[in-house]
Amino acid sequence: MLRVMYFSILKEKVGLKEEEIDFKGPVGKLKEVLKERHPEIGDLLDRVRFAVNEEYVGEDHYLEGNEKVALIPPVSGG
């Protein structure tokens, strides 16, 4: 099972800090699954960075199903 962790605005909108999802496949497909599962963050997911086991990855990175996946939303500062 993937452990998907939500941060910042994603955590607020989903109402979860993390959840487990039974998934194997590329990060790009996981993004589509999450859009269906949590439509309230669908618009944000196109701007989110995905980190797998604490390393940023691209959408073609293949998930084996036992990783920690952090969704890092865009940040702004002043």
Q: Inform me whether the pLDDT recorded for 78 exceeds 80.
A: no
Please spell the DSSP secondary structure of 60-78, one letter per residue.
TPEE-S--EEEEE------
Cα distance between residue 60 and residue 37, in whole Å: 20
Cα distance between residue 60 and residue 68, in whole Å: 16
Q: What is the CATH number assigned to the segment(s) 2-72?
A: 3.10.20.30
The pTM of the full predicted model, rounded to 2 decimals, is: 0.91
User: What is the average per-residue pLDDT within 54-76?
Assistant: 93
pLDDT attached to residue 76: 60
Q: Inform me whether the pLDDT recorded for 77 exceeds 80.
A: no
Candidates 49, 7, 3, 9; CA nearest to 22 is 3
Q: Inform me whether the pLDDT recorded for 2 exceeds 60.
A: yes
Question: pLDDT digit string (tens) for 10-49?
Answer: 999 999 999 999 999 999 999 999 999 999 999 999 999 9
pLDDT attached to residue 74: 81
